[in-house]
Amino acid sequence: MTKRLFDLVGAAVALLLLSPLLLAAALAVKLDSPGPVFFRQQRVGRGGVPFRIHKFRTMREGVPGLQITVGDDPRITRVGRWLRRTRIDELPQFIDVLQGTMSLVGPRPEVPRYVEFYPPELRERVLSVRPGITDPVSLAYADESELLARAADPEREYVEVLLPRKLQAAAAYAERATLWTDLGVLLRSVGVLLGRS
């Protein structure tokens, strides 16, 4: 089974099985605060091609701020906190997997602003594969928001400290990933989700 077929089958089955949860989450977002159910943002995908990612909206509409989330961000809604803690806000990305812009497992896609900081040699390696809903790096940095909250300058901390570490790990994943390692990452991710829920 090729990775693309694995992605298509996995995303279709996940959307089917999780449809009641997705509908409940969408209703909660709509009732909690004004604005759309989905948050769509430009990210950089395979080969440097931009695409728009799907997430459940977890922040108030029209409130300016950084493109990273820092600690107890005041922009986050009440329902949004729960969606982020349980990672349910990421589940609409199964749509992106079906569309072919994402994979179930792969380096998390960044916004163009932070891709500009990728060193050329790492940029080519990290962007050689489709970005994913989950990967070993996102599991290792599940507490990223709290780490940034302790920094005097969160964005600088992200660009100069966390991003280089994440890129090295993402590049290593891109070079060594197999369907078996992806399956292991998915199982670990499900375990994290169940634990947070």
pLDDT digits (tens, 9 = 90+) for 97-143: 999 999 999 999 999 999 999 999 899 999 999 999 999 999 998 88
Q: Give Cα separations from 161 to 41, 150, 156, 168 (angstroms).
A: 24, 13, 8, 12
Model confidence band, residue 186 (pLDDT cutoffs 50, 70, 90): very high
Name the residue among 125, 101, 89, 87 with its Cα closest to residue 7: 101
182/129 Cα distance (integer angstroms): 13
In this structure, the dihedral spanned by the alpha carbons of residues 18, 19, 23 and 29, taken in order and rounded to 10 degrees, is 40
Average pLDDT over residues 48-61: 95
Question: Residues 36, 30: contact at Cβ < 8 Å?
Answer: no
- Report the pLDDT value the prediction gives residue 64, as an integer from 0 to 100: 77
pLDDT of residue 196: 62
Across the range 81-93, mean pLDDT stands at 94
Residue 147 is predicted with a pLDDT of 86
92 pLDDT higher than 70: yes
Rounded to an integer, the average pLDDT of 161-165 is 94
Token output for 18: 């999780």
Q: How many other C-beta atoms can be found within 10 angstroms of the C-beta atom of residue 24?
A: 11
Q: Is the pLDDT of residue 58 over 60?
A: yes
Angle at 46 between CA 6 and CA 155, to 5 degrees: 115
pLDDT at 65 exceeding the cut of 80: no
Residue 63 pLDDT > 80? no
Q: Distances in Å between the alpha carbon of 14 and those of 90, 131, 153?
A: 12, 18, 38
- The pTM score is 0.91
